[in-house]
Amino acid sequence: MGQNATLKKISVQLDLSISTVSRALKNHPDISENTKRKVKELAALMEYEPNTYAINLRTNKSNVFGVIVPAISNMFYDSFISAVEEEARKNGYSLLILQSGDDPLQEAESLKLCKHSRVDGIFISVTPDTCSGELFIKYQQSGMPVIFFDKVQDSDMFDKICLADEEAATMAAHTIIKYNKKNILAIFGNPELSITKKRKEAFISVFEKGNKKVKPGIKFCNNSDEARQIVASAISGSSRPDHIFCMSDEILIGAMKALNHSDLSVPDDISVLAISNGFIPGLFKPEISYIETSGYELGKLAIKRMLENMESKTAPKSIILPSRFVEGGSL
Amino acid sequence: MGQNATLKKISVQLDLSISTVSRALKNHPDISENTKRKVKELAALMEYEPNTYAINLRTNKSNVFGVIVPAISNMFYDSFISAVEEEARKNGYSLLILQSGDDPLQEAESLKLCKHSRVDGIFISVTPDTCSGELFIKYQQSGMPVIFFDKVQDSDMFDKICLADEEAATMAAHTIIKYNKKNILAIFGNPELSITKKRKEAFISVFEKGNKKVKPGIKFCNNSDEARQIVASAISGSSRPDHIFCMSDEILIGAMKALNHSDLSVPDDISVLAISNGFIPGLFKPEISYIETSGYELGKLAIKRMLENMESKTAPKSIILPSRFVEGGSL
DNA sequence: TTTTCCACCGAAAACATTTGCGGAAATGTT
DNA sequence: AACATTTCCGCAAATGTTTTCGGTGGAAAA
C-alpha cells in the first residue's frame, strides 16, 4: 500500500488540499496542530516518502556530487572518495562516482553525464591528456562548482586541492642527501601531469642547488609495470643505483616487485623512499619510509571546500595539504 | 544562454508546440523532416539538454543503481565496484555508492537513502550484524531488485552472487595437506558472517574427513590488526605453527605484518596460503600463493544479473563464481 | 460530391512537489 | 455594530517532459 503514497493521496483521504498536506508535513506555522497531527499520522501509516524526482525538479537541485577519478580501484582515490562520502553523507549529499580510466574520451563522457544528471558539483582528478578544458569552464560558469584535486588543470579559475607536491619532493630529496646516497634512480609518473612536473622540478632543484656532484637519474612511467621494468633493468645494469625514489604508490609497487625478484636487500644493498598514501609501504619488509600524502585528508579538504561553495560562491582557491615524513626502515 | 534550454523555449522560438519539439528530437515518424531539422538545429544551438529530473519524475525511473558496501577503501569491493561501474555505464546506468562502515545502523540508513533516492536496484554486501531483514523484503516486494553479493543474507528470496566459498576453502585445505603441514593456524573473519561459516566449515571438514591426525587451530578476527596480533602471539608461543592460512586479504595483510616483524622466513620456517582478490599476495617476497576470488569477476556477474532483472523479473537465483589456485612461492 | 486516408501537428493530462496570494471564518478591538 | 486582526486553509501556477487523443488540411478514392 505504502508503495506510492503521495501528497495527493493523503489529501484525498483526509479531504484536504495538497498544499495543506505539504505544509503540515513540514510544520508550516499556518497549519493547526490538529491538522498536522492527522496528516502526520496518515502519512506514517501510508509510509509516505517524498518523491525525490519531483523535489529535484521543483528545486532544481539533486543533492548529489559527481566524482570523476581515473580509477576506483586505487588506494589513493579510494581513501579520497571514502572521506568525501563520509562528509557528504553527513550533509545530506550523495555521490555519483565515475571512472575515466585515464582515457580523455571517457573522461569527457563522464563529465557530460554529470552535467546531464545535473549534479550540484564536481570533484575531478584529470587524466594526463584531458581535452575537456572548455567544458570545465562552461560548467563552472553555469554555476556548477568544479573542484580539481590531486591531478589538476593548470588554471586559476578553479578551486584546486593539491598535495604539497613541491614540499614532499623537496623533503624527499633532502632526506636522500642526508643519507649520503650517490647513485639515485628517481622514478616519476606521466611527464605531462602537473603533479609530475611539480614533483620532478622540486626534486631536481634541491640537487642542483646543493651538492652538485650528485645528479639523480630521472625516469618516467605510466603504470606499475613500467616502473617494475625500469627498476629491473637498472639493477641489472652496470652502475647499480644505491637508492630508488618513487613518486607514488603505484610506482613503488612496481619497484618493489622488481626488487623482490632480485636478491638485493633493502636497505643494505639499495635503499628506497617513496611519496605515498601510507598503506602500501607498510606491507614490505622492512617497511618503506615515505613522505605521506593522505588521500583521506585531501578528501576532507575537498568536500569542505565544496560545501563552502554550496553556501556561497567565492573566488577560486588553491589549497595545499602539507606532508610529513614517516620512518619505515628502508633508508 | 544554453543554461536552461527547455522544450518550451525551443517551441516558442520556432512557433511550434512542445510536443512537436519533443517528438522531433526523438525522431518520431509523425514529424516532417523539415521540422526535425529546424528543431535539431536550434536545440544544438541552444545546447538543449533534456532535464533528467523531469524525465525521472515522468518515467519513475532514475537509471541509477545503489551500491552498499562496508567500505570503499577495500581492494575487494573496489574491484567489484569497478566492474559494476564499467558495465552499468555501458548500459546507461550510474552508481550511487554508499558505505555502511560495518555498522548496521549506517547500513539501514544507506538503505533508506537508496529507497528515498528511488534507485532502480540495489547491490549490497551486508554487515555482520545487519538488522535490515524486513527492509530488504519490503524493497524487494515493492519491485526494487536487491542483489546480495559476497556477504549475503541467508534467505532464498533474493538474488545472491557469491564466491565459491566452500570450493575455495576446500581447495585450500587440500593444498595444505598436500604440502604435508602439521601445525596449522587458520585465521577466519567475523564468525557471524555466512561467508566465514561456509569457509570455516568446508575447511575443517576436509581435515575431519581425511587425515584425522592433523587438526588445524582456528582463530577469528574482525580486522587486519587483530589478525596481526593473533599471528604475532602464535609465532612467539611454544608450539609455533608451520603454516598460516588466511581467509581473506585483510587477514593476510595482518598476518604478513606480524611475519615481517619476526625473523621467520617464508616458506622455510613457516608457509602461507590465502584466499585473495589477487593484488596483495603479489606484493610480498616470496609472493603468496592464493586461491583467487575475483571481486572484478563477481562484479561482472552481479551487474549482469541486475540487468536481467531490469528486463523482466524472474525467480531469485544463487550464482557462484568458481575459484582457482595461483602459485606464489609461499608454500 | 462525399468519403477515406494520410501526413503532420497541437492541446492537455499526468508525474509530485512547492509557494505566493488570497479568502473565509473566528476572534478581538473600538 | 463596525472594523481589524488572526488563524487556518485552498487555488493555481510553476518546474520539464512524455504521451494519449484528437484535429486539420489536402489528396486520392468512391
**Rounded Cα gap, residues A51 and A77, in angstroms:** 32
**Rounded Cα gap, residues A138 and A143, in angstroms:** 9
Q: What is the pLDDT of residue B3?
A: 63
Q: Does B25 touch chain A (CB under 8 A)?
A: no
Interface contact flag, A53 B97, Cβ < 8 Å: no
**Within B193-294, where are the H helices?**
194-209, 224-236, 249-260
Q: What is the pLDDT of residues A126-184, one digit of tens each?
A: 988 887 888 898 888 888 999 999 988 888 889 999 999 999 999 999 999 999 998 99
- CB-CB: which of B49, B54, B72 is closest to A82? B72
Report the CATH fold assignment for A165-292. Answer: Rossmann fold (3.40.50)
Cell reading at A25: 508535513
Asked if residue A3 has pLDDT above 90, the reply is no
Q: What is the pLDDT of residue B118?
A: 94
Interface contact flag, A72 B54, Cβ < 8 Å: no
Q: What pTM was computed for the model?
A: 0.89
Q: What is the pLDDT of residue A97?
A: 95
Q: What is the pLDDT of residue B1?
A: 44
Q: What is the pLDDT of residue B151?
A: 87
Q: What are the residue boundaries of the structural domains of chain B, listed by start?
A: 2-50, 62-163+296-323, 165-292
Whether A165-292 and A62-163+296-323 are alike in CATH topology: the answer is yes
How far does A207 lie from chain B, in Å, by closest CA? 31
- A91 vs B contacts (CB less than 8 Å): none
- Report whether the peptide linkage leading into residue B286 is cis, meaning its omega lies within 30 degrees of zero: yes
B68 and B109 in contact (C-beta within 8 Å)? Answer: no
Q: What is the pLDDT of residue B4?
A: 82
- A6 vs B contacts (CB less than 8 Å): none
Q: Does A78 touch chain B (CB under 8 A)?
A: yes
Q: What is the pLDDT of residue B211?
A: 62
Tell me the mean pLDDT in the region A14-42: 94
Per CATH, domain B62-163+296-323 is 3.40.50.2300: yes
- CB-CB: which of B62, B81, B257 is closest to A72? B81
A51 in contact with nucleic chain C (CB within 7 A):
yes
**Rounded Cα gap, residues A22 and B199, in angstroms:** 52
A318 and A160 in contact (C-beta within 8 Å)? Answer: yes
HSE-up of residue B68 (Cα within 13 Å, Cβ side): 31
B94-99 and B159-163 beta bridge pairing: unpaired
Could you tell me the distance in Å between the CA of residue A16 and the C1' of nucleotide D18?
29
How far does A213 lie from chain B, in Å, by closest CA? 35
List, as ranges, residues 134-193 from B with C-beta within 8 Å of A: 142
Query: Domain spanning A2-50 has what CATH number?
Result: 1.10.260.40
- A253 vs B contacts (CB less than 8 Å): 283
Q: What is the pLDDT of residues A68-125, one digit of tens each?
A: 999 998 889 999 999 999 999 999 999 999 999 889 999 999 999 999 999 999 999 9
Q: Would you tell me how many other CB atoms lie within 10 Å of the CB of residue B222? A: 14
Q: Which amino acid is residue B245, in one-letter code?
A: F
Q: What is the pLDDT of residue B2?
A: 46
List, as ranges, residues 263-322 from B with C-beta within 8 Å of A: 280, 282-287
- The percentage of residues in chain A with a pLDDT greater than 90, rounded to a whole number, is 82
With 0-12 CB in 10 A as exposed, 13-18 as middle and 19+ as buried, what is A188? buried
Q: What is the pLDDT of residue A73?
A: 86
Could you tell me the distance in Å between the CA of residue A92 and the C1' of nucleotide D6?
37
**Residues paired with A318 in a beta bridge:** A160
A113 in contact with nucleic chain C (CB within 7 A):
no
Task: Say how many residues make up chain B.
Answer: 331
- Report whether the peptide linkage leading into residue A322 is cis, meaning its omega lies within 30 degrees of zero: no
Could you tell me the distance in Å between the CA of residue A55 and the C1' of nucleotide C27?
37
- A292 alpha carbon, distance to own chain's centre: 15
Report chain C positions within 7 A of protein CB atoms.
Answer: 7-12, 14-22
Q: What is the pLDDT of residues A114-126, one digit of tens each?
A: 999 999 999 999 9
In angstroms, the Cα distances linking B150 to A107, A119, A129, A145, B29 are 30, 31, 37, 37, 48
In angstroms, the Cα distances linking A93 to A115, A143, A158, A307, B69 are 17, 18, 21, 10, 17
B151 and B140 in contact (C-beta within 8 Å)? Answer: no
- A51 vs B contacts (CB less than 8 Å): 57, 118
Asked if residue A211 has pLDDT above 80, the reply is no
Q: Which residues of chain B have pLDDT under 70?
A: 1-3, 211-212
Could you tell me the distance in Å between the CA of residue B39 and the C1' of nucleotide C20?
35
- CB-CB: which of A60, A96, A261 is closest to B94? A96
In angstroms, the Cα distances linking A71 to A67, A219, A237, A307, B96 are 11, 23, 34, 24, 16
How far does B205 lie from chain A, in Å, by closest CA? 32
A112 and B49 in contact (C-beta within 8 Å)? Answer: no
